Each structure stands twice: as structure tokens, then as C-alpha cells.
Chain A
Amino acid sequence: MADDKDVLRDVWYGRIPACFTLHQDQVTEREAEPYYLLLPRVSYLTLVTDKVKKHFLKVMRAEDVEEMWLEYEGTPLKWHYPIGVLFDLHASSSILPWNITVHFKDFPERDLLHCSSNSVIEAHFMSGIKEADALKHKSQVVNDMQKKDHKQLWMGLQNDKFDQFWAMNRKLMEYSTEDGGFRYIPFRIYQTTGERPFIQKLFRPLSADGAVHTLGDLLREMYPAAVTHEGAEKRLQVVIHGIEPLLETPLQWLSEHLSHPDNFLHICIIPVPSD
């Protein structure tokens, strides 16, 4: 369907304007200018911020430089979450550009994973794809793929090549007509409160009697506070790729069209902004 294909492209090409500023505690040889960059929602911070690193390294002494890490308003940014998820979760209510602070020392070991090279990002990304397929197809589709097919998925993401990526990813989005959908829907629900970083559980796209499960059904089961009752004041927003999909949207459709490249539906529950 032409409309649905457009959704795939819109999701892939979503961008967030960001401004990177060096933390004031960083010792520099001369003044560090902020660096502006358009960040792809579906990618990962460590994959797209090489230019940011190079820019700030120019004004720093080599001995003051350790692994770069990023932070927003005191919160270390987890590079292993898709960029769009980090933005929707932490910064969607503030004005653009997204102001990110850059650090080169005092790496927060407890909160952030190390990222020594792109192969760490690739391993993490492929791990997500494999887990999603374990849920959707008992790993049958991803295991039937060859190593070069897996590589194509990664290269498509790394090089921002929509067609290259989807030529392979479409296989992960298929299902038999008698099944009517995936076995389970790969999803993660993120919240800003509490210790638990996300909720991920088994949930089917169809009920036992064949009824189509919607986003609302998923939330009623996993995060009932996000579903506002009749007459009550809405306190929470349910955000996917920066938008609030209707709760009546079928979950299977969301999984096929609004998943991230790792094949997971990343859903953010955030407080309604108070203006």
C-alpha cells in the first residue's frame, strides 16, 4: 500500500536538530565552539557523533581525553537506546535544538555501557534484531538469513541506506496468512520515573478468539496509567517516533510500520508537558 510505504520512509528519515557543547569542567587549550548536527531518530549516538568528537578534540590536549560520553541536563545519555527514544523520553518538551553536553572524562561506569568501536554498536543492533525475531518467528527468519544478509541490515543503518536496509528487513516483517500476524510483538515501554528502565513482556497481536489487539490493549495490560479514563484528566502521553498514535491502532500494524530498525517498537510514556 503506497501510504504505508511512506510511513516507513518518514520513520527512517526522521531527524532531530542538536547542539553539542563541551562541559565547562573540560580543560581546553582554547575556546570550544558548540557543534550543530542533525541526528537521525533511528540511529545511535555513538554511530553518528564522530564529527562531534573530532571537533572538540581539536581544542583539547591528548592527555585530557578519555572515552567521550554525552549528557542532557545531568542525565547521561544511553547510546544503546535509539536517538529518537532518548529525545522523546528526556527532551521532547523543551525547545529545539536539543542541547547536549559533551564529556571526555569521569565516564559514569554504573550508568553507561562502554562503546570502544562500531563493532560494539553492530553487535548490540544485531542482538536486538535477533531477539525481535525470536519473538516474532521463533528466530526462524533471522537464522535462515546468511551472514551477508545480517551485514546488509547493519550497513543499511550505518550508511543511512533505506532501500538497502528494507530489501532485507521486509523478510523480518512477513508472516503467514493463517497466523494473521507475528507470534509475539517485540516492544519496550520506557518511562522516566522509577528504577526500572523499560517494560518488555510477551504480548500477542491477536487474542485467542482472533480479535485484533490495539495499542490501547497493550497499554491496558502493561501500563494502565497511560490509558486515560472517560472524564479524567490526561496526565501521560504515549509517544512513538515523536508522535502520539491513536490507541485504536492495531499493534500488528504498528510493529510492521513504526518499529525501529532493530525491529522493536520503542514506546515512551512521558508526562503531559505543562506550559
Chain B
Amino acid sequence: MKMISGLDEDSFVACCRLVLQKSEELRDGWRWEQGSEGYLRKTVLHSVSIQEAENSEREIAHKECQSSEAVLLDDEDDDNVAGANCPADPPLWVHSEFHVLFSSSYRTPVMFFRSNTLEGRALSLDAMWSFIKPKLKSSSEEDLLSTVTQQEHPLLGQTFFMLHPCKTNTFMRPVLQAAQRENRAVNYVLTWLSVVGPLVDLFPILLCSRTRASVSERLGFQPTL
């Protein structure tokens, strides 16, 4: 892979092709969405812990759990029983989507993501932060995540969360420079994904452990699993 300080669209597509190959090998579920501008996409159905969720999120989740419990009970209407069967902090099942687009303005990949409950309710940024924040291990991770904002998806026109590309070069540069010094080829998108993906921490990234280790060495923090 050619060593460049930023990325151009063709290189982005080429990097993505390799990511897809690796994903195929590891059954990691990434797909290519074709269009005049293509992008990487992955959807995940998973349960997240909401111990630190806002009270409103917990209330809503609790109600959803209670109503599904009530359906299972027989005719004897007993509110106490329904309440007792619901665990204090039920795990929340969510359907999450992750898109990796190319930003021609910043010459970097950009991450867009969103999560919905199975009832189709969109998760707020606060709710997502409550899952992510406890897992952050350093202030540089927090700094990166401070760039997460609600944005309009530039190709779909729908509401997503976006990890802002402006700080990307800051953390990619030392990694790329190190690789250049050692005459090592670097897949920009794969390296970027191995840093950013675990930060968002809503999906497992089955990447080669060597990539993750070398990245954490350069950056001084451990991308969380």
C-alpha cells in the first residue's frame, strides 16, 4: 500500500477491498454498499448493559421488559409477579449499524453509526455514551469520542452519529510515520478501524491481533476489546 499522509478516494476503495477480504476470512460481517460513492457497512444485533444509562432509558427499558413479561403471564393479573421477574437492569437488545464512508474534504475515512431497540426506538447519544464511557481507559480516547455528534448521513439523508474526521490525522500520523520508517505497508482503513472501532465499542472487531498491538504501541493506549 502506497504511503500517503492522507487518502484519496481510489486508495480508500482499495483499502476497503482488503478489509472486506479480511472480514470474509474472519466472518466479521462487513459488506460493501455500492453507489456512485461506495462505503463499508456492518449491522449487528447485540445486547448492551445499561447499568449506567440515564434514568429515563432505564425506565423505558424496564417498562418494555415488564410488558413483555406481562404477555407471558397467564390471566391472573398480578403486578408484583411481573415486577419481580424483571431483573433490576435488564440487558437491552439493540440493532446497530456501522458505516465507513470517505471524506474527500479531510481525506480520511469517517464512521457513521446508529442503534435502535428492537421496538424501533432510536438510542440517544447520552444512552450510547453511558455504554461507552465506562470502558474508556484514557483521556485521549475521551478526547476522540468528544467528537461524536449527531449528523445527517451524506448519502442516505438520515440521522446517524458520526465520529468527526478532524482528529483522525492526529492519531493516524504517528502510526503511518512509524510504518514508513520501518518500510512497512499499512492499510489505512484497517489501521483506522482498529483504533476507532473498539472506541465505539458497540461491536467486536475481529482484526489481526498484530494490527491492534502495534497500533496501541504507537498511540500509548490500548484499544478496548
- Which residues of A pack against B, CB within 8 Å? 78, 80, 109-114, 123-124, 127, 130-131, 134-135, 186, 195-198, 200-202
**At the interface with chain A, which of B46-54, B72-80, B153-161, B178-186?**
B153-161
Q: Given contacts A134-B105, A195-B157, could you give 20 more A-B pairs where the C-beta distance is less than 8 Å?
A: A78-B152, A80-B152, A109-B122, A109-B159, A110-B158, A111-B158, A111-B159, A112-B159, A113-B152, A113-B159, A114-B124, A114-B150, A123-B149, A124-B149, A127-B149, A186-B105, A195-B155, A196-B155, A200-B154, A201-B104
- Chain B residues contacting A200 (CB-CB under 8 Å) are 104-105, 154
A-contacting residues, B132-182, CB 8 Å: 149-152, 154-159, 164, 166
Complex Cα distance, B157 from A111, in Å, reads: 7
- Chain B residues contacting A195 (CB-CB under 8 Å) are 155-157
The 6 closest A-B pairs by CB, nearest first: A197-B157, A109-B122, A113-B150, A131-B105, A134-B105, A202-B104
A196 with B157, Cβ < 8 A, contacts A110-B122, A134-B105 known: yes
Which partner residue on chain B sits nearest A80 by CB separation? B152
- Chain B residues contacting A111 (CB-CB under 8 Å) are 157-159
Cβ of B203 under 8 Å from chain A: no
Quote the shortest CB–CB distance from A31 to chain B (angstroms). Answer: 33
- Chain B residues contacting A123 (CB-CB under 8 Å) are 149
- Number of interchain pairs (Cβ within 8 Å): 45
Cβ of B129 under 8 Å from chain A: no
A131 with B106, Cβ < 8 A, contacts A109-B122, A113-B150, A123-B149 known: yes
* Most chain B beta-carbon contacts within 10 A, residue among A109, A123, A127, A201: A109
Which partner residue on chain B sits nearest A135 by CB separation? B105
- Chain A residues contacting B106 (CB-CB under 8 Å) are 131, 134
- Chain A residues contacting B150 (CB-CB under 8 Å) are 113-114
Complex Cα distance, B103 from A135, in Å, reads: 11
A127 with B164, Cβ < 8 A, contacts A134-B105, A134-B106, A135-B105 known: yes
Q: List 19 A-B contacts (CB under 8 A).
A: A109-B159, A110-B159, A111-B157, A111-B158, A113-B150, A113-B159, A114-B124, A127-B149, A127-B164, A130-B166, A131-B106, A195-B155, A195-B156, A195-B157, A196-B154, A196-B155, A196-B157, A197-B154, A200-B154
Contact with A along B98-136 (1 / 0, CB 8 A): 000000111000000000000000101000000000000
- Chain A residues contacting B124 (CB-CB under 8 Å) are 114
Complex Cα distance, B126 from A114, in Å, reads: 12
- Chain B residues contacting A112 (CB-CB under 8 Å) are 159
